[in-house]
Amino acid sequence: MRENNITILCTRPLNENIIQKAAMQNIGIDCYSFIETNQISSSELIADIHHLAQKKYAIIFTSMNAVNAVVNHLQLIPNWDIYCISGTTKDIATNFFGEAKIKATAKNAAELATIISADHSITETIFFCGNQRLNELPEVLTSKGIRVIEKVVYTTIQTPHNIEKNYSAILFFSPSAVHSFFSVNNVHNNTIFFSIGNTTTAAIKTYSNNKIITSEWPGKDAMINLSIQYFTTLQHTT
């Protein structure tokens, strides 16, 4: 078996099939999780979700972790209008709530906030989120006169690993993972970063001046495919 010339560090787990797909292109991928998410299962939160399920609300999800945390506490499908990020978050929401309940999706929280605020019939939203959620979406909606009721349904903690290997690229999916990684690591000047979204890119820039390629689309598959395409193109032109 030939040795992989390109090595990528992915900061969250991946399915083995996509790792094999990369290996076929002479790209090796190692996976280490730099954050851990834990669903909140307090009796108070569960009662709160059950109460909200009795009425129609405009519901916001900006992460798959929030969707999973909420649906785990629901027995029946509530009459909610769902507004969510596309990619895996939308897929999980659609699987539980159904396609008809998905009223709008967007590539990121800023675009989602713009879509919601453009609907003048919406005066109040329920935002299911984590304890380290970003400010952008609630700030935009509040500035437009839309009330945002936040329900924290999962927590995120940093799980840093000391990495001694020099990678061709490192893939980041959240600012939390960026902070976790750089709390114990430095990188080679030639290492390229792949990032989901502008907020994650901004977090990387606080630690490094290396090249950053930002994926416009959410989800692991989109960014993994972007990195594979980048390096396969590079190998074919060198």
Residue 88 confidence class, pLDDT cut points 50, 70, 90? confident
Q: What does each C-alpha distance from 82 to 88, 127, 146, 184, 235 come to in angstroms?
A: 14, 10, 16, 39, 43
Domain 37-156 has CATH 3.40.50.10090: yes
Report the distance separating Cα 238 and Cα 233, nearest Å: 9
The CATH code of the domain at 6-34+159-236 is 3.40.50.10090
Q: What is the pLDDT of residue 217?
A: 75
Other beta carbons within 10 angstroms of residue 167's beta carbon come to 20
pLDDT tens track for 89-119: 999 999 999 999 999 999 889 999 999 999 9
Q: What is the pLDDT of residue 21?
A: 86
Question: pTM for the complete prediction?
Answer: 0.87
Question: Which amino acid, 91?
Answer: D
Q: What is the mean pLDDT of residues 21-29?
A: 89
How many residues would you count in the chain?
Answer: 238
Q: Assess whether pLDDT exceeds 80 at residue 235.
A: no
In angstroms, the first-to-last Cα distance of the chain is 22
CB neighbour list of residue 196: distance below 8 Å, 6 or more residues apart: 172, 173, 174, 214, 215, 218, 219, 223
Q: What does each C-alpha distance from 219 to 83, 113, 126, 166 come to in angstroms?
A: 17, 19, 23, 25
- 177 with 195: CB under 8 angstroms? no
Kindly report, as residue ranges, where domains of CATH 3.40.50.10090 are found in the chain: 6-34+159-236, 37-156
Q: What is the pLDDT of residue 2?
A: 45
